[in-house]
Amino acid sequence: AASQAKSDFLSRLSHELRTPLNAIIGFSQLIQMDPQLPAERRAQLGHVLSAGEHLLSLINQILDISSIESGAQKVATQAVPLAPLLETCVAICRPLAQASAVALEVARPLPGEPDPAAVQVQADPTRLRQVLMNLLSNAVKYNRPQGSVRLAVRQDVTCGEGPNVHVDITDSGIGLAPAQLERLFEPFNRVGAERTVVEGHGLGLAHSRALARSMGGEITVTSQPGQGSCFTLHLQSAGHPTADSRPGRVN
């Protein structure tokens, strides 16, 4: 009940915050269109605009988390082929990985093994992409130079209840201690990263877990401080595994 009350409160609060913010952003954009505006004022207005947009994106994420948690937002899932989505996310994250000197290993079926490209999951493609992007970019952000990120897809062959497709995102980064793991999914809790140069605001994992759960999935994590972490996104498969869609390996 307390959790529901919190979600309702956050949902109302976020709506109330969005209204004045839209005026700030909208009028800043209007003033920027003025050709008479001196360059210095234009630059200052640019700061107002980008701070406003940043704040709006935070508020939208909080609103999304609370409306998913309160059950107000129903998510329509469909059968989504996993491989193309993974490829897109990896391609988007590759420049970040290269800039951080982190190797990003891409899914390739081993010779003689079933092709993971055949795995389909029950998901909303946009939301699934958001979750994967967050987990992948975190694995790069909280890594070390010359480190690695490895992506693997597993599918249970037994047909039980619940999520049976598992996407492992394993990094060789800084890792997390048990006390940090306990608070990892709390909104705005960066579990110590706020004292580092790594940018973030501590909403990504809370949002990702709410999104995963809204699709009947889950996110779990195992970690060793100083050695790295493995974040696993569990999803429901769309259809039973066949000879062509059983466990895939990522190299």
Provide the binding-site residues for ligand ADP, judged by CB under 6 A: 134, 138-139, 142, 171, 173-174, 176, 184, 190-193, 200-206, 229
- The whole-angstrom separation of Cα 246 and Cα 33 is 56
Q: How far apart are CA 130 and CA 205, in angstroms?
A: 11
Nearest residue (beta carbon) to ligand ADP: 200
The CA distance from 41 to 25, in Å, is: 15
* 100: helix, strand or coil: coil
How far apart are CB 112 and ligand ADP at their closest, in Å?
A: 32
Phi/psi for 120 (5° steps) reads: -120, 140
In the block, which residue shows the tokens 């979600």? Answer: 7
* Cβ proximity to ligand ADP, 80 vs 135, nearer residue: 135
Tokens of 103: 């190797």
Q: How far is the CB of 16 from ligand ADP (least distance, A)?
A: 24
Can you tell me which residue has the tokens 């498969």? 237
User: Which is nearer to ligand ADP, 118 or 174 (by Cβ)?
Assistant: 174
Pick 54 or 240: Cβ nearer ligand ADP: 54
CB of 28 to ligand ADP, least distance (A): 25
What's the min distance (Å) between Cβ of 157 and ligand ADP?
A: 29
Q: Report the residue number, 27 or 185, with the smaller CB distance to ligand ADP.
A: 185
From CA 173, how far away is CA 134, in angstroms rounded? Answer: 15
The least CB distance from residue 49 to ligand ADP, in Å, is: 22
27 CB neighbour count, 10 Å cutoff:
14
Q: Give whichever of 154 and 231 is closer to ligand ADP, judged by the CB atom.
A: 231
The answer to whether 176 and 223 are in contact (CB under 8 A) is: yes
